[in-house]
Structure 1
Amino acid sequence: MVTSIHGTPVVPGLAYGPVLVATSEVSPDAVAAYGDGGHADEDAALAAYDDAATRVADGFRAKAAAATGATAEVLTASAGLTTDRGLRSAVRKNLQAGQPLVPAVEAAIDQFVTVFAGMGGLMAERVTDLRDIHARILARLVDEPEPGVPVPDTPSVLVATDLAPADTAGLDPARVVAIVTERGGPTSHTAIIARQLGIPCVVGASGAIAVLEGRRALVDGESGTVEADPEQAKATDRVAEDRAQRAALASWSGPAGTADGRPVKLLANVADAASAVAAGSEPVTGIGLFRTELCFLDRAEEPSVEEQAEIYARVLAPYAGEGRHVVVRTLDAGSDKPIAFATHPDEENPALGVRGLRLSFADPGLLHRQLDAVAIAAERTGTETWVMAPMVATVAEARDFGSAVRERGLKPGVMIEVPSAALLAHQVLEEVDFLSIGTNDLTQYTMAADRMATDLAHLTDPWQPAVLQLVAIAAEAGRRAGKPVGVCGEAAADPLLACVLVGLGITSLSMAAAAVRPVGARVSGVVAATCEEMAEAALAAVDPATARSAALAVAGA
């Protein structure tokens, strides 16, 4: 019998408990009893679909309203996908072709799944969301509770093929002590929300259900190892030791920097005013990534400059004061974050299409109005405001953006997500004042691997030496220019990797607020020279696992 499996570690921590397997099926008996639904005609059947879809979307929105940050973002996007007009049109077409409602919905979902999967990139990530939406709509039609993760009686390890955003967002860390999924990568929705909740998590663990069901499991969220039925006393002792260490980390309050005094700014990633206020309770010196597009996912028309300014001011205001600043990212719309008033529909490959700054090429006014609104918000609040553009690929793009930002009295920067920008970082920094590395997209584009492809999870790991080499190039360019280079991708939330990034020359780390104290404590526990040795060891490795092990060996030396 197999006693252990391995996956991609995404949230560090040890946890031990009985395995709870999650399923997303609606009762076959209920579906059979529903039959053709008994609808009088196509219009009646479509009305039933509309009612079910609306109730599912309302459920997503209610959960989003109770959440913040990345969790609220993902749930809002799911609500929009549930009531998508294209999906509804596909259902109506199937009804007109004579299909009963249940098969009509299933065929429409399958059609969208095929399209999204074929697009690859970030759009393929929505396949899990579509399957979840299908199950929830089906449940509403047959008058059953929407499927989801059962609430365990005792603290348990949740194991699933994959988890939908609504399931992950609703988890109680006191009852679900760890998450293991067979699919997904380090930047999947499950991974992102698990980080925000602070639940140890391993994804891409192929065969997890077959190995772990009916057993107890010890999950190591730092190494990615999951042991089945370990010796209970030893497992309990290891978890207790880990909890003590994590409690010590949680009490860390600064100052940010290495043990020998090299300063490292710790910043938070936020999506709205609520998450900005919440992040202020953590030991951060500001916001390193304000995802402005998440304010407008459900907007059909572009908000006015004044309305945008009011929204931005509510995020900026808590960070007014000396030594604090907010980095505003202009609209990163497109790909998996479609915004009705901005994105281009029907792109063959949205991840490589017109997204981020590229939206302004055909519609410069979209960018200029947003910059006007940011400038107004900065003036009203008195907050030091930096502005950066996503998806910059050339020096010319950086030059044009930098000029537009400076005209408004703001500090310009760009995101390093495209390998070409990393390779030309020294020239890019002649045009702007700072760089911020988005490791999620940089990893995906560097390795030419869909971040949601489970079979390729080893490629989309930010520990990839090739990705770290590009980070090193950008950081060295910043050092030579005397300008800051930060990381705002998910990699910054990994305490061990954070030390490596500091060793590469990164000057700031921006992450989910829940990760700030563990990262700060880990970095403050080592001297700068050790961080540099960890970075050298990781760069010399041949794969992510070796890089992680090499860095850990140096840290423990």
Structure 2
Amino acid sequence: MAETLKGLGVSSGRAAGRVCRMAGPPELPAPSPVTDAGAELNRAMEALRATVSELAARAEKAPDADAKAILEAQSLIADDPSLHESVETSVRSGKSAAHAIDEACAHHRRALLAAGGYFAERAADLDDIRNRAVAAALGLPVPGVPDPGHPFVLVAGDLSPADTVNLDPGSVLALVTEKGGPTSHTAILARARGLPAVVACRGAGDIGEGTWVSVDGLRGEVEVGIGEEAAAEIQRRADDDRRRTRTVRGPGRTSDGHPVKLLLNIGSAADLAPRDRAPSAEGVDAEGVGLFRTEFLFLDRREEPGYEEQVAAYAAVFRAAPGGHVVVRTLDAGTDKPLPFLGLAEETNPALGVRGLRVSRVRSEVLDTQLDAIAEAARATGAEPWVMAPMVTTVGEAADFAGRARARGIARVGAMVEVPAAALRAGRLLKELDFLSIGTNDLSQYTFASDRQHGELADLLDPWQAALLQLIADCAAAGKAAGKPVGVCGEAAADPLLATVLVGLGVTSLSMSAPGIPAVRESLAAHSLERCRDNARLALAADDPAEARKAIVPGR
């Protein structure tokens, strides 16, 4: 009898096939006396250097900008002097190279988990560094993605960026992990490759090798033990759906012609170029860029990228963007996403601290340089970018940001709505701003007081939660009253059925990873505006996400 496991759906789509499991981490041998501490230290440092080199080499071969930035950051972690000092201390205390690396990584991992939030999500990076370096110290092969010679569903405790970055969608049908969250690297890279993915899936570790399963990356469900015939039928329908949606072209609109802009979430100009391993931005016929995450230019840099470097990076995006429409988000970093050059103090609760626009309170020159560079890139390319700030909370913050941007000739200025305070005052914010863009991931986290990394609370982060939809509705109503656009740029926008609800609430644009656009375009084309409004009313009236999904009637 089939069993359904629940997790957090982080990349929509369905797939079915046989399970292949990732091999476990290298096992440590029993401790033994160390007779030559110098030799052990050399062995440990060489293993770390080999890990740094391997990750850097994988970054150079990465198929897209997100993957490249993630692997480069991971290489920097492996090369961090504080980690090397911890390894040396452990060796000097009598540990072998492999045991010293394991002990040092465990120490730093505990610190990351204790910090919570974004820091906790980086613990998986340290686990991967540990496994690679320990394997190198022991002379063992590093565990990697299996190659059974047939398409398969990959199941693992967690996946590192180095494991995920070169996954072939022709072989890997879907991803299922026991750990992870909606902003984990597994989630980011799965969406970039169009692979259905479920993370934080309790019980995934008990799925046997070769078991037939189906994966629903939208609902976060894994059905175990379905049988070969059922799996083949599910996969056939999924393949048919993908082929059909790729034939639907043109601007986003409902069946009765109501326009809804379908836009891309990107990290750099490289995301707008054709890619070998995922549908290209050009291939999905997007109407522009709804979220340009500029932090990938800053990620884990020891020095701030200079003015000229920033101008070149922004100009490259402005030239490559479909339709020339680009919404730029200024640096979204801080104590929850630490950048070494910012020099920010550690905080007890980084998610509630200095992050996003708040960084300008202590390092105003970082935002000023970025705004100067965006304005110059716009002049050089003739583009008219829209620019928005993350983590805007008050009307005063909105007015200050708008003034600084407009003083530099930036005409369209907006804000991310990521905290309930901004949603509740959306009408007043729009007296200072030209548009709003709703980040559903953070808005869910702050509305439900639920850490995005906490697998046990995944149901609270479900974007079908009525309280979240009500805040989105309030923002959309404020936009309609002001005659100004309100979009959604969180990954909730990539849910084809939820997209009809968001449009019914009054959202004017939906921005997502490239693979999500075809299915959303097709879904909107199958619903009239009035049906979208009916769906919105039904979803708002539901007491839980499951009830909301069941209440929605697909089609005209």
Between the aligned partners of 2:202 and 2:426, the Cα distance in structure 1 is 38
Cα deviation for residue 434 of structure 1 reads 0.8
CA distance in 1, matches of 2:2, 2:209: 12
Q: Do the aligned residues in 1 keep the contact of 2:265 with 2:289 (CA within 8 Å)?
A: yes
Give the CA deviation at 1:185.
Answer: 3.1
Moved more, 439-448 or 78-87: 78-87
> Among 202, 221, 224, which residue is 2:198 paired with?
202
1:270, 1:8 → 2: CA distance? 23
Show the counterpart of 2:81: 85
Aligned to 1:99: 95
Whether 2:469 is the aligned partner of 1:468: answer: yes
Equivalent residue, structure 1, for 2:278: none
Alignment of 1:369-384 (within 5 A): 369-384=369-384
Tell whether 2:439 aligns with 1:443: no
Amino acid at match of 2:253: G
Deviations 1:19-57 (A, max 9, x none): 1111331155xx45x96776542xx54443333223223
Contact 1:121/1:449 (<8 A) preserved? no
- For 2:36 and 2:131, how far apart are their aligned partners in 1? 20
Q: Identify if the C-alpha distance between structure 1 residues 54 and 539 changes in structure 2 by more than 3 Å, giving closer, same or farther.
A: farther
User: Quick one: structure 1 residues 62 and 351, their matched pair in 2 at CA, closer, same or farther if it must change by over 3 Å?
Assistant: farther
1:457 aligns with 2:458: yes
Which residue does 1:54 correspond to in 2?
49
Which amino acid is 2:85 matched to?
S
Q: Does the 8 Å contact 1:179/1:202 carry over to 2? A: yes
Question: Are 1:77 and 1:337, in contact at CA under 8 Å, matched by a contact in 2?
Answer: no
Give the alignment partner of residue 183 of structure 1, picking from 159, 162, 179: 179
Cα offset for 1:2? 6.2
Given that residues 264 and 508 in structure 1 are in contact (C-alpha distance below 8 angstroms), is that contact kept between their aligned partners in structure 2?
Answer: yes
Deviates more, 1:463-472 or 1:418-427: 463-472
Distance 2:500 2:53 in 1: 42
Please give the alpha-carbon distance, in whole angstroms, between the structure 1 residues aligned to 2:399 and 2:207: 54
Q: Is the 8 A contact 1:123 1:335 kept in 2?
A: no
Task: Give the Cα–Cα distance (whole angstroms) in 2 for the partners of residues 544 and 69 of structure 1.
Answer: 34
The answer to which of 145-154 and 503-512 deviates more is 145-154
Paired residue secondary structure (2:155): strand
Q: Which moved more, 1:106-115 or 1:83-92?
A: 83-92
Cα deviation per residue 1:222-280 (whole Å; 9 max; x = unaligned)?
A: 33332233243333223212321221012221221111111111111111121133424
- Using a 3 Å threshold, how does the CA distance of structure 1 residues 515 and 436 change in structure 2: closer, same or farther? same
CA distance in 1, matches of 2:550, 2:419: 27
Amino acid at match of 1:265: K
Q: SS state of the match for residue 105, structure 2? A: helix
The equivalent of 2:540 in structure 1 is 539
Q: Secondary structure at the match of 2:461?
A: coil
Q: Equivalent residue of 1:151, what SS?
A: coil
| Counterpart secondary structure, 2:348 | coil
The residue aligned with 1:233 is 229
**Residue 500 (structure 1) aligns with:** 501
Q: Which residue of 1 aligns with 2:347?
A: 347
Any conservation in 2 of the 1:163–1:190 contact (CA below 8 Å)?
yes
Residue of structure 2 in register with 1:430 after alignment: 431
Change (3 A) 1:84 1:538: farther
Asked whether the equivalents of residues 249 and 517 of structure 1 are also in contact (C-alpha less than 8 Å), the reply is yes
Q: In 2, are the aligned partners of 1:122 and 1:335 still within 8 Å (CA)?
A: no
1:305-364 deviations in Å (ceiling 9; x for gaps)? 2221112111111238xx531111111122453222225143322222211111111121
Q: Which residue number in structure 2 is paired with residue 24 of structure 1?
A: 24
> Normalising to structure 1: TM-score of the pair?
0.93
Deviation at 1:86, TM superposition (A): 2.5
Alignment of 1:76-475 (within 5 A): 76-278=72-274, 279-319=281-321, 324-335=324-335, 337-410=337-410, 411-475=412-476
Q: Which runs of 5+ in 1 are unaligned?
A: none
Assess if the C-alpha contact under 8 Å between 2:7 and 2:220 holds in 1. yes
Aligned-pair CA distance for 1:304: 2.5
1:75 Cα shift?
Answer: 2.2
Q: Mean Cα displacement is larger for which, 90-99 or 389-398? A: 90-99
2:122 counterpart SS class: helix
Q: Alignment RMSD, CA only?
A: 2.2
The CA distance in 2 between the partners of 1:21 and 1:420, in whole Å, is 44
Q: Secondary structure at the match of 1:341?
A: helix
CA distance in 2, matches of 1:37, 1:140: 18
Deviation, structure 1 residue 123:
1.5
Q: Find the aligned partners of 1:334 and 1:131 in 2 and give their Cα distance.
A: 23
**Are the counterparts in 2 of residues 343 and 355 from structure 1 also a CA contact under 8 Å?**
no
For residues 20 and 49 of structure 2, the distance between their equivalents in structure 1, rounded to whole angstroms, comes to 30
- Residue identity over aligned pairs, in percent, reads 48
Q: Which residue of 1 aligns with 2:277?
A: none
Q: Partner residue of 2:554?
A: 555
Change (3 A) 1:221 1:164: same
Kindly indicate whether the alpha-carbon contact (under 8 Å) linking 1:122 and 1:450 is maintained by their aligned counterparts in 2: no
Distance in 1 (alpha carbons) for counterparts of 2:257 and 2:390: 32
Contact 1:462 1:491 in 2 (8 A): yes
User: Structure 2 CA distance, aligned partners of 1:422 and 1:58?
Assistant: 45
Aligned CA distance change for structure 1 residues 158 and 303 (closer, same or farther; 3 Å): closer
Q: Which residue of 2 aligns with 1:478?
A: 479
Go from structure 1 to structure 2 and tell me whether the alpha carbon gap of 1:380 and 1:154 turns closer, same or farther (over 3 Å shift): same
For normalisation by structure 2, the TM-score amounts to: 0.93
**1:357 and 1:124 mapped to 2: Cα distance?**
22
Deviations 1:518-548 (A, max 9, x none): 2212222211111112222222222223223
1:178-223 per-position Cα deviation (integer Å, ceiling 9, x unaligned)? 2222223333322221111111222222112314444221223333
Q: 2:299 & 2:227 partners in 1: Cα distance?
A: 48
8 Å contact kept, 2:251–2:261: no
Counterpart residue identity of residue 73, structure 1: A
**Range with bigger deviation, 408-417 or 300-309:** 300-309
Q: How has the CA–CA distance of structure 1 residues 542 and 19 changed in structure 2, closer, same or farther, with 3 Å as cutoff? A: same
Residues paired across the two proteins, number: 548
CA contact (8 A) 1:393 1:418 kept: yes
Give, in whole Å, the separation in 2 of the partners of 1:493 and 1:87: 39
